[in-house]
Structure 1
Amino acid sequence: MIDFHCHLDLYPKPQTIIERADQSGVYVLSVTTIPKAWPGTKRLAKGRRRIRTALGFHPELAHERYSELGLFDTLINEASYVGEVGLDGSKHLREHASLQRKVFAHVLKATERAGGRVMSIHSRGAADEVLELLRPRDAGVPVLHWFTGGPCELQNAINAGCWFSIGPAMLKSKAGRERAAAMPRNRLLPESDGPFGKVGRKILEPLDAGQIVPVLSELWAEPVSVVRYQLMENLRTIARFTRH
């Protein structure tokens, strides 16, 4: 079982969530939203061999935490993964679009300078802009989390070599299932996006990311066992790109 995008540090009781994930054998990518959160979030997973902690700079916080770019540069060599980073084109953030771009461009440059990383990327309302900033750089492997772009944007992302992480909340909508069906099977990973990801009133946690398996089984017209095998193969493949 895999959860390739989860905010472990933002649950009310993170150690409870971590313990359940560990006991269930879930491989978790624990993403952070600001550089200052990375050391403490990494400590949460100390001794948990299936949890990796990503160094993040969330676009919604770029205008508030711009001063932490230097800290990102300091920490990048210690981090195996980068995330959550990217751009957000939501209406309430448009006034900060220029600063978001500066922060994301800086993050990509620092990541490229460090030799590249697997990156969990936020692209809501800004998929083509994300690809535009990714294109000139060799910053590593981009994994677009909870992708919400249209068919053309999705095809552009596929052509650019992007991976995708998808969760139960995304697959609740017809549009989400259509996007998932169009994504390359060998570049797909499960996620929960907990505690932000929800199904009904239930806040998702790492174990819940596996709920996508029966949905993909239906979309791919393949047995559940085939879907599980493919997702684990995808994890093994992307793990080869990591430095630690």
Structure 2
Amino acid sequence: MAPQLPPLDLHAHINPKTRPADLERLGAVVFAATRSLDEYESVRVRRDQVTIWGVGCHPGAAQAQQDFDETRFSSLLASTAFVSEIGLDGRSKVPDAEQERVFEAILSALQRTPRIASIHSSGASSRVLGALERTPIKGAVLHWWRGNEAETLRAIELDCWFSFNAAGMKYPADVSLIPLERILTETDHPSGDRTSTLPRQPGSVDDVERALAQIYNTDVQAVRRQVWANLAGLVDHADVPTLLPTAVQRMVAFARTGAET
């Protein structure tokens, strides 16, 4: 395939002080998840070429949950195509009711202003799906998904996408329940790639691509093409192409053309 599309990482955590040039040297397109509105504010005016910064409110971050403001969040949506990291966490010290209040407010905002939304569901798969059933949104991506078979089928019915990292590849039978056309690659650096081959860094999804190729009985190049086609479909579904960096817009357009041929 020429030109070759780069690796795609739909969920990684990156120090906001990292220089754009250092991120470009990763040789990948990376969607960077923030854990709080304040963290996103610190990167909001950046104009990275191949990094998309998301506005987030991590369910495991007590201060972020406490400080969440729906009006502020809604205003920040105008500056990004990506929302991450949001959702529910069954192991968080934040009370369930507080997590659910924040998540419902975020979903309500996303109903009004769709975005690609990377959703955390650790220990709370069914509760996350319940929230998505009550307040359905476009562009929902279940990141590092570990739901059971019934929950996975329920998520597919809800029109969700799924992003997997190296840790998620330990469960190939679970992954195989999902159509490849609904899957994206991620690292969740520095947590989800602890078992990855070197280099352990955002954008390093080679081992995930190899594992997906084995699960779906195809080659790595086909997986890369399909993942980018999936991103193109996700971008169109959420209607956010013009909010992406120009270079990434070109890649998405190229992937879209390939998916149509």
- State the TM-score, normalized to the length of structure 2: 0.81
Report how many residues are paired: 232
- Secondary structure of 1:60's counterpart equals coil
- Give the stretch that moved more between structures: 34-43 or 162-171: 34-43
Structure 2 residue 18 is matched with structure 1 residue 14: yes
Residues 1-244 of structure 1: pairs in structure 2 closer than 5 A: 1-9=7-15, 14-15=18-19, 19=21, 21-43=23-45, 46-62=46-62, 65-69=65-69, 70-90=71-91, 93=93, 96-113=95-112, 115-171=113-169, 173=170, 176-200=171-195, 204-240=200-236, 241-243=238-240, 244=243
CA distance in 1, matches of 2:35, 2:199: 19
When the two chains are superposed, the root-mean-square deviation of aligned CA atoms in Å is: 2.2
Contact 1:62 1:103 in 2 (8 A): no
Contact 2:166 2:208 in 1 (8 A): yes
Unmatched runs of 5 consecutive residues or more in structure 2: 1-6, 244-261
- Secondary structure of 1:99's counterpart equals helix
1:217, distance to aligned residue in structure 2 (A): 1.1
1:63, distance to aligned residue in structure 2 (A): 6.3
- Secondary structure of 1:85's counterpart equals strand
Which residue identity lines up with residue 33 of structure 2 in the other structure? V
Larger fraction in strand: 1
CA distance in 2, matches of 1:138, 1:116: 11
Unmatched runs of 5 consecutive residues or more in structure 1: none
1:24, distance to aligned residue in structure 2 (A): 4.4
Contact 1:190 1:210 in 2 (8 A): no
CA distance in 1, matches of 2:86, 2:203: 23
Which residue identity lines up with residue 30 of structure 2 in the other structure? V
Contact 2:165 2:193 in 1 (8 A): no
| Deviation readout 1:99-151 (Å, 9 max, x if unpaired) | 100010011112222x2111000011111111111123243211000011111
Which residue identity lines up with residue 39 of structure 1 in the other structure? E
1:218, distance to aligned residue in structure 2 (A): 0.9
